[in-house]
Amino acid sequence: MVSLRRSINDRANNYNYKYMNCYLETITRTVSVSLLLIDIALLVYGHLNTGSYAFIFSHIISCSLYFLSTFKTNKYFVLQFIVFTTGFVLYTIYNFTIALTLFISEGFKLNLLRLSLNGGSSVLSFYSLYIAIVFYIRILNDACCDASSFEDEIEETNVQLIIEDEDYDDDE
């Protein structure tokens, strides 16, 4: 009876693990596509200087590789996204403060659009950085623990539980 209960718990844990991976991949895809759209909007409406275009294009490439890493898991794509997004967060905070200053001092509608794009980009970049770190840790955990060792560990615990259950019946 104990082994059956343990088997059901193992299946539930396996299902929860797969569900969390699916949820994490869905969130990652949504965030990376949203960042791509905001980057394209920044290119069109952001009034950027020429030095910023290369930085935005590198972030677009980084987001694209991050999006592709959800289909075929690659820890290097996720790691490069973490590195580039850390720099991009600093850049978006800098642009957000400039846009906020211009909005307060001049108050044009175009500055409101620039303020909302840079603010949305910085908030989404912070969130994507958090999700990317969680995704990277999940990839590292999957790499260090293969499925066969996990199944062997489950079998060993089932045997131990059955032995403990038989000892318990002998005492009664």
Rounded-to-integer distance, Cα 96 and Cα 162, Å:
61
CA atoms within 13 A on the CB side of 147: 3
Residue 43 three-state SS: helix
Mean residue pLDDT across the chain: 77
For residue 170, pLDDT over 70 is answered with no
Q: Which two tokens stand for residue 159?
A: 């045997």
The reply to whether the predicted model has a pTM over 0.75 is: no
For residue 19, pLDDT over 60 is answered with yes
Rounded-to-integer distance, Cα 161 and Cα 8, Å:
14
- pLDDT one-digit tens code per residue, 38-72: 888 888 876 777 777 888 888 889 999 888 888 88
The domain spans of the chain are: 2-171
Contacts within 8 Å (CB) and 24+ apart, 28-32? 28/66, 28/67, 28/69, 28/70, 28/131, 28/132, 28/135, 29/67, 29/70, 31/124, 31/127, 31/128, 31/131, 32/63, 32/64, 32/66, 32/67, 32/70, 32/128
pLDDT band at 36; cut points 50, 70, 90: very high
Percent of the chain with pLDDT over 70: 69
Find the mean pLDDT for residues 76-103: 86
pLDDT attached to residue 103? 80
Alpha-carbon distances, residue 61 vs 40, 126, 147 (angstroms): 12, 18, 33
pLDDT attached to residue 8? 65
pLDDT attached to residue 127? 92
Find the mean pLDDT for residues 121-128: 89
